Amino acid sequence: MSPAALDAVDRRLVNRLQDGLPLVARPFATVAAALGIAEGELLYRLERLREAGVLSRFGPLYHAERLGGGLTLAALAVPEPDFERVAEAVNAFPEVAHNYRREHALNMWFVLATETPGRIAEVIEAIEAATGLPVFNLPKEEEFHVRLHLPV
């Protein structure tokens, strides 16, 4: 996946909108005014950035636990020849929110987000059954910081 070509306005837009949209009546008009562009241009650029995959999504970031749900990070040590099969099996679970391949003996790392905290253990069991591999469950015990911001 190659870096996208962004012009100066795209960059300001991406930087500004990583911080969040104000929760006001005409939020895009408010941000557009601050950036000195028209609301329509902002919406057009935002849609283009989303379609081009520069943005994975644009919308509310929900806090799983405060929604009453469960959240955990889990990992698998997948034998190389089985990697694609296991990736497909793991990704098929709707509770798998993200999944990354990483360079380590534990080479598959995924986040589980479930409707209830109790459901985490059930999904882990189901993933173990579907993959035939033991799941390392690494729930957060303390959150020191969550604030992704990638300046461009």
Partner 1 sequence: MSDSTCPSEARAQDAATPAGHLDPRDRAIVLATQAGLPLVPDPWGAVGRRVGMSGDEVLARMQAMAARGVIRRVAAVPNHYRLGYVANGMSVWDVDDAEIDRLGREVAAIEGVSHCYRRPRHRPHWPFNLFAMLHGHSREEVERQAEVLRARLGEACRDHRILYSSRILKKTGLRLGAGGPGSDTQRRD
Q: Which of residues 20-79 bind partner 1 (CB under 8 A)?
A: 20-21, 23-29, 39, 43, 46-47, 49-50, 52-73, 75, 77
Q: State the nearest-atom distance from the C-beta of 81 to partner 1, in Å.
A: 16
Q: Is 36 or 148 the residue whose CB approaches partner 1 more closely?
A: 148
81 near partner 1 (CB under 8 A): no
Q: State the nearest-atom distance from the C-beta of 3 to partner 1, in Å.
A: 4
DSSP tag of 71 = E
Q: Is 17 or 36 the residue whose CB approaches partner 1 more closely?
A: 17
Which residues, 117 to 146, sit near partner 1 by CB under 8 A?
A: 117-122, 124-125, 128, 134-146
Q: Are 70 and 114 in contact (CB under 8 A)?
A: yes
**Cα distances (Å, whole numbers) of residue 106 to 17, 43, 74, 94:** 34, 41, 10, 22
Q: State the nearest-atom distance from the C-beta of 78 to partner 1, in Å.
A: 11
Close Cβ partners of 83 (under 8 Å, ≥ 6 residues apart): 101, 107, 108
Q: State the nearest-atom distance from the C-beta of 140 to partner 1, in Å.
A: 4
Q: Is 6 or 35 the residue whose CB approaches partner 1 more closely?
A: 6
Q: Is 3 or 36 the residue whose CB approaches partner 1 more closely?
A: 3
Q: Are 131 and 148 in contact (CB under 8 A)?
A: no
108 near partner 1 (CB under 8 A): yes
Torsion angles phi and psi, residue 113, rounded to 5 = -125, 120
* Angle value at C-alpha 55, between 28 and 103, nearest 5 degrees: 155
80 near partner 1 (CB under 8 A): no
Please choose, from the candidates 73, 69, 47, the residue with its C-alpha nearest in 3D space to the C-alpha of residue 114: 69
